[in-house]
Amino acid sequence: MGERLRVVLATPLEEELCVLIEDAEPRIELVRDHSLLPSQRHPGDHSGDPDWTRTPEQQARFDELLATADVLYGIPDVDVRALRRVVEANPGLRWVQTMAAGGGASVRAAGLSEEQLARITFTTSAGVHGGPLAEFALFGLLAGAKSLPRLRRHQAAHDWADRWFMGQLEHQTVLVVGLGGIGIEVARRLQVFGTTVIGTSRHGGAPPEFVDEVVHPDELEAAVGRVDGIVVTLPGTAATEKLISAAVLDAVRPGATLVSVGRGTVIDEDALVGALRDGRIGFAALDVVAVEPLPADSPLWDLPNVILSPHTAALDEAEDRRIAELFADNARRLLDGEPLRNVVDTVEFY
């Protein structure tokens, strides 16, 4: 029958989607014991019920299953320590599918050796969340253009204020920082509004579809001075940390809108607070922050021109299905000797 892949389910997944994976790629042996995994509280809940625990006997059975896997579907318990234990205990492990689009951060945090990183392919769910995150970005840009903080302020004061001009995305220019799957989806949606889109790329070349102009990340300070909105979609890596720096925020066009849907570490948060307070950033919609959960003493909680989303904008009811379909396609690719999609770069970990 040729090569088969023994895949062990390491994260909660509905049985219906387990069958979907098996039907899509019959050469997979998808081993699962749902009694060893917590129940999901909602679609996309890869950690499962936090109050659920395994008995010592269940943990031993779970560890035994993981040690027999060619492939892991998910990081066990979404715990990098568990990932490291499995890698060390299972010399036959070939591939780990992470549930997060930014799964490279978990691979880095596991502290694996060069030999282990070379032996195992890690893939992410990048692209699966592009649509929902792009919609959140549009929500943020529209909220900024339509003066949401001002509207809320007048409403709270029961003040039927004088009229004022609101912005229109049709007349605006938006900078999309990162033209990966999320960034392209943002640009595609903005095209419908007639927005001018500038994107960033380290690789240069002609602008991709839906993008009017491409600039290098080193040119951010010059670019932000001519845009009305900024959407940050980049993963958290050493190269992207605080890329949206104090100098970049000093150079923005006053009143610009900022939306963050990548990783919070890409933005210098202290500098962002200053820019929000003095109006350089007129409005910010943040689905991610540098430290999650956001500390209770963060000024971001109380700034009137900020909307906070607890890293939930990517979730929708179809997420688990899309990851399952992505995984099945990658399994076919692996078995047929084709390149896998969304392979983690184990130098920069994205």
Domain check: are 216 and 299 in the same one? yes
335: number of Cβ within 10 Å: 15
The rounded mean pLDDT for the chain is: 96
Whether 343 is covered by a domain: the verdict is: no
Whether 172 is covered by a domain: the verdict is: yes
Domain check: are 285 and 199 in the same one? yes
Whether 70 is covered by a domain: the verdict is: yes
Domain check: are 110 and 247 in the same one? no
Tokens of 293: 């959960």
Whether 180 is covered by a domain: the verdict is: yes
**Domain coverage including residue 9:** 5-127+316-335
Tokens of 90: 């299972």
Residue 103 has pLDDT above 50, yes or no: yes
Domain check: are 159 and 295 in the same one? yes
Sign of the alpha-carbon torsion through 56, 58, 60, 63:
negative
Residue 74 has pLDDT above 50, yes or no: yes
- pLDDT tens digits along 273-330: 999 999 999 999 999 999 999 999 999 999 999 999 999 999 989 999 999 999 999 9
The helix (H) or strand (E) run that includes residue 281 is strand 281-286
Q: What is the CATH number of the domain that holds 11?
A: 3.40.50.720
Tokens of 208: 């991709």
Domain check: are 101 and 167 in the same one? no
Give the C-alpha separation, 207 to 179, whole Å.
10
Whether 100 is covered by a domain: the verdict is: yes
Domain check: are 117 and 20 in the same one? yes
Domain check: are 107 and 167 in the same one? no
Give the confidence band of 89 by pLDDT, cuts at 50, 70, 90.
very high
- pLDDT tens digits along 1-30: 468 999 999 999 999 999 999 999 999 999
* Pairing outcome for strands 213-215 and 121-123: unpaired
Number of domains in the chain: 2
Domain check: are 48 and 143 in the same one? no
CA angle 13, 19, 23 (to 5 degrees): 140
pLDDT of residue 1: 45
What amino acid occupies position 299? P
Give the C-alpha separation, 189 to 186, whole Å.
5
Q: Catalytic site residues?
A: 263, 292, 311
Domain check: are 199 and 244 in the same one? yes
Domain check: are 53 and 87 in the same one? yes
Whether 54 is covered by a domain: the verdict is: yes
What amino acid occupies position 157? A
Domain check: are 116 and 194 in the same one? no
- pLDDT tens digits along 104-152: 999 999 999 999 999 999 999 998 999 999 999 999 999 999 999 999 9
- pLDDT tens digits along 152-200: 999 999 999 999 999 999 999 999 999 999 999 999 999 999 999 999 9
Domain check: are 121 and 163 in the same one? no
- pLDDT tens digits along 257-269: 999 999 999 999 9
Average pLDDT, stretch 238-245? 95
Whether 340 is covered by a domain: the verdict is: no
CB 141 within 8 A of CB 193: no
End-to-end CA distance of the chain: 35
Whether 349 is covered by a domain: the verdict is: no
